[in-house]
Chains A and B, each alone.
Chain A
């Protein structure tokens, strides 16, 4: 990790700090809350460093997590310094951070979440798409459900655990998403979800398209799946039309899944 590659480590850390800064949110969110999934942070720093493994798991996890207010305020100052935005009273900080400034100052033109997401999508969109390539049906269905949840404004915990009465189409996805221990069976899910929560970065990757940029995640989910999507939508129409007579309607989880399909269709 040290030696000749030290400047690279500093650079990768600097970029990771800049990006996490924009997604960490203001106070209130509290320590321990994830800015992005550690898995995503790991992949991101891996891509930024050109495929090297420069940061250990502990560091990656630390970068992905929100810390106490004092630490976060210090990190904000560091980030502002790295981006050249600190002057005046903080001159002493510049001195302390001299090695960082020499190696870690990066002019990425990133100052808003929008910039950050454009940066990720622009430079590493291909890598993100690759992470979502070749999903099996169970994994794909679970991601469709997650997509619907993100668009609905609900949280994953609102799914509840009543899987018995669900449409066969939706049940595997609900069971999968409700069982935190199974996340390793779907690596793509690890990029988006941690502790059964959708992180701020995840939300933007899933609902981003409406803000005017393409989403590598939605690209990958939609590609080659139009037949599945059409079949599933048809199934929903059948169930709802039937259900009208029995006054059953759609359950919340089924609604999320259907919403995920709708979003995917409109996006593609």
Chain B
């Protein structure tokens, strides 16, 4: 499908910029079918920046609640999971969160849940892994079953952990900043009309 017009194809920087912007504008789109349609087009930019692609998969799967659309997104998430070694810390954090967003449509939920938990340890950032862990537990609570953990208990523990991090130097961690920059919340102002 990629046409390969001059000036676009080999330009990774252009692709990266487009993916970064995509992370902000996906919030505009309300219909799940329009969102998956966009993701289907944007996969051609994946190799420009795997990390931004991971962020996109999270930002989209976080707002889609229609099962068919979520199932399609789960395939993209799995595709990225296979090459997760090529992701940086914050990209991996997004991948894990995207994975958690798709728990609801997975048949082997507890296995996927445990794979996510297993991978969080490698994030190399206390704050980042705590944020991701909280997100994963939240998503597991929504999806059920509990897979042998008490999410409420875990979330409580994570909240006090974050409390304890207040004022910690790690807030200036570059990886965390990159992560926060791509979270699509707050990016768009109040729509002019809906």
Q: Is B31 an interface residue (CB 8 A)?
A: yes
Chain B: CB-nearest residue to A263 = B41
Q: Is A233 an interface residue (CB 8 A)?
A: yes
A242-263 interface bits toward B, Cβ cutoff 8 Å, 1 = contact, 0 = none: 0110011111110110110111
Chain A contact residue count (CB 8 A cutoff) = 48
Q: Which of B7, B30, B41, B187 contacts A266 (CB 8 A)?
A: B41
A222 to B2, CA, bound (A): 12
Task: Please name all residues of chain B whose beta carbon is closer than 8 Å to the beta carbon of A267 when the two chains form the complex.
Answer: 2-3, 41, 44
Q: Is A219 an interface residue (CB 8 A)?
A: yes
A-binding segment of B11-19, B107-115, B144-152, B161-169: B11-19
Q: Is B24 an interface residue (CB 8 A)?
A: yes
- How many of chain B's residues touch chain A, expressed as a range? 35 or more
Contact B188 A250 (CB under 8 A): yes
B-binding segment of A36-44, A63-71, A114-122, A204-212: A204-212
Contact B18 A162 (CB under 8 A): no
Contact B188 A255 (CB under 8 A): yes
A134-175 interface bits toward B, Cβ cutoff 8 Å, 1 = contact, 0 = none: 000000000000001001111000111010000000000000
Contact A250 B187 (CB under 8 A): yes
Contact B25 A237 (CB under 8 A): no
Near A by CB (< 8 A), chain B positions 12-55 give 13-15, 17-22, 24-25, 27-31, 34, 37-38, 40-42, 44-45
Give chain A nearest CB distance to B11 CB in angstroms: 7
Give chain A nearest CB distance to B49 CB in angstroms: 12
Q: Is B189 an interface residue (CB 8 A)?
A: yes
Contact A262 B22 (CB under 8 A): yes
Chain B: CB-nearest residue to A265 = B18
Q: Which of B21, B38, B190, B191 contacts A261 (CB 8 A)?
A: B21
Task: Please name all residues of chain B whose beta carbon is closer than 8 Å to the beta carbon of A7 when the two chains form the complex.
Answer: none
Contact B13 A151 (CB under 8 A): no
Q: Which of B8, B14, B25, B37 contacts A207 (CB 8 A)?
A: B37
Chain B: CB-nearest residue to A212 = B1
Q: Is A234 an interface residue (CB 8 A)?
A: yes
Contact A210 B37 (CB under 8 A): yes
Chain A: CB-nearest residue to B34 = A153
Q: Is A236 an interface residue (CB 8 A)?
A: yes
A222, A240, A248, most chain B CB atoms within 10 A: A240
Task: Please name all residues of chain B whose beta carbon is closer than 8 Å to the beta carbon of A210 when the two chains form the complex.
Answer: 1, 37-38, 40-41
Task: Please name all residues of chain B whose beta carbon is closer than 8 Å to the beta carbon of A251 when the two chains form the complex.
Answer: 188-189, 191-192
Task: Please name all residues of chain A whose beta carbon is closer than 8 Å to the beta carbon of B1 when the two chains form the complex.
Answer: 209-210, 212, 214
Q: Is A91 an interface residue (CB 8 A)?
A: no
Q: Is A26 an interface residue (CB 8 A)?
A: no
Give chain B nearest CB distance to A158 CB in angstroms: 6
A243 to B4, CA, bound (A): 33
Contact B31 A229 (CB under 8 A): no
Q: With contacts A160-B193, A209-B1 known, is A240 near B187, CB below 8 A? A: yes
Contact A226 B11 (CB under 8 A): yes
Task: Please name all residues of chain B whose beta carbon is closer than 8 Å to the beta carbon of A185 when the two chains form the complex.
Answer: none
Q: Is A268 an interface residue (CB 8 A)?
A: yes
Chain A: CB-nearest residue to B9 = A268
B11, B25, B27, B28, most chain A CB atoms within 10 A: B25
Q: With contacts A253-B192, A255-B24 known, is A230 near B3, CB below 8 A? A: no
Starting from the known contacts A234-B17, A237-B20, A261-B18, 18 additional A-B residue pairs (CB-CB under 8 Å) come to A151-B34, A152-B29, A210-B38, A210-B41, A226-B7, A229-B8, A229-B14, A233-B14, A236-B24, A240-B21, A244-B181, A251-B189, A259-B25, A262-B18, A265-B14, A266-B18, A267-B44, A268-B5
Instruction: Supply 7 A–B pairs (Cβ within 8 Å), ascending by A.
Output: A148-B25, A151-B29, A210-B1, A226-B11, A266-B42, A267-B41, A268-B5
Q: Which residues of B contact A (CB under 8 A)?
A: 1-9, 11, 13-15, 17-22, 24-25, 27-31, 34, 37-38, 40-42, 44-45, 181, 186-194
